[in-house]
C-alpha cells in the first residue's frame, strides 16, 4: 500500500510539472495594451459614508450598553438563585451547623460606553451593585416599622384623649346633677 501512494504522488507531480510548461492562450484583445484616459480619483471620505459610519458607531455603543444592562440583570438573577439555594440548604440542614455559602461575591463591573459633551465616546466599566436590593429592602422595612410605630402611638393618644374626654364629660354631668339637687 505505501508503494501505491508514493507512485500516485509521483504521477501527480509529473502532471503538475507538465502543466507549468504549457502556455496559457489569451484572446488577442486582452493581450494588447490599452490607454487609460481617466486618472484614479484620490480616496476622499464621502459625507454620506461618514454619516452612516457615525450612525453605526452610535448604534454599536447603544448595543454595548444594552448588553451590559442584560448582563447585569443576569448577574443579579444568579445572585437571587444562589440566595434561594442558600436559604433552602439552611432549612434542610438538621444538625444546626453553619453551612458554606454556595456563591461568593467580589466586585463586579460591566463594560459601558459613555458619550462626552464633545460627542466623543469613552469605553469604560460600570460597577454592578450586587447588594442594592438588600439595602433597599432594609430601608423599606425600616420605613414600614416607623410608620407602624407612628400609627400605634397616634392610636394610643387617640384612645387616651377619648378616655380623658369621656371622663371629663362624665364629671361634668355628675356636677350638673349635684348642682340641680
pLDDT band at 1 (very low <50, low <70, confident <90, very high): very low
Q: What is the pLDDT of residues 12-43, one digit of tens each?
A: 555 555 554 555 555 555 555 556 566 676 66
pTM (two decimals): 0.52
Other beta carbons less than 10 A from residue 91's beta carbon: 8
39-53, 121-135, 160-174: which is most confident? 121-135
Nearest Cα neighbor of 79 from 56, 99, 108, 51 is 108
Residue 142 has pLDDT above 80, yes or no: yes
Query: Cα–Cα distance between 89 and 95 in angstroms, integer?
Result: 12
Domain locations in the chain as residue ranges: 49-130, 131-181
Residue 34 confidence (pLDDT) = 59
Residue 3 confidence (pLDDT) = 47
Query: Cα–Cα distance between 156 and 147 in angstroms, integer?
Result: 14
Selected residue with higher pLDDT from 92 and 63:
63
36-40, 120-124, 144-148: which is most confident? 120-124
β-strand partners of 83: none
Query: Cα–Cα distance between 181 and 173 in angstroms, integer?
Result: 13
The secondary structure of 55-78 as a DSSP string is HHHHHHHHHHHHHHHHHHHHHHHH
Q: Three-class SS of residue 90?
A: helix
Amino acid at each position: 500500500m505505501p508503494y501505491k501512494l508514493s507512485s500516485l504522488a509521483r504521477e501527480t507531480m509529473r502532471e503538475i510539472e507538465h502543466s507549468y510548461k504549457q502556455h496559457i492562450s489569451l484572446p488577442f484583445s486582452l493581450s494588447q495594451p490599452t490607454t487609460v484616459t481617466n486618472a484614479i480619483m484620490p480616496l476622499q471620505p464621502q459625507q454620506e459614508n461618514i454619516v452612516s459610519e457615525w450612525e453605526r458607531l452610535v448604534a454599536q455603543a447603544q448595543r454595548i450598553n444594552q448588553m451590559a444592562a442584560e448582563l447585569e440583570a443576569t448577574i443579579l438573577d444568579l445572585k437571587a438563585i444562589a440566595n434561594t439555594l442558600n436559604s433552602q440548604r439552611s432549612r434542610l440542614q438538621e444538625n444546626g451547623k453553619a453551612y458554606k455559602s454556595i456563591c461568593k461575591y467580589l466586585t463586579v463591573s460591566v463594560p459601558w460606553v459613555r458619550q462626552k459633551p464633545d460627542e466623543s465616546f469613552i469605553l469604560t466599566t460600570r460597577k454592578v451593585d450586587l447588594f442594592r436590593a438588600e439595602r433597599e429592602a432594609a430601608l423599606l422595612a425600616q420605613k414600614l416599622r416607623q410608620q407602624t410605630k407612628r400609627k400605634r402611638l397616634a392610636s394610643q393618644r387617640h384612645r387616651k384623649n377619648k378616655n380623658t374626654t369621656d371622663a371629663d364629660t362624665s364629671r361634668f354631668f355628675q356636677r350638673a346633677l349635684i348642682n340641680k339637687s
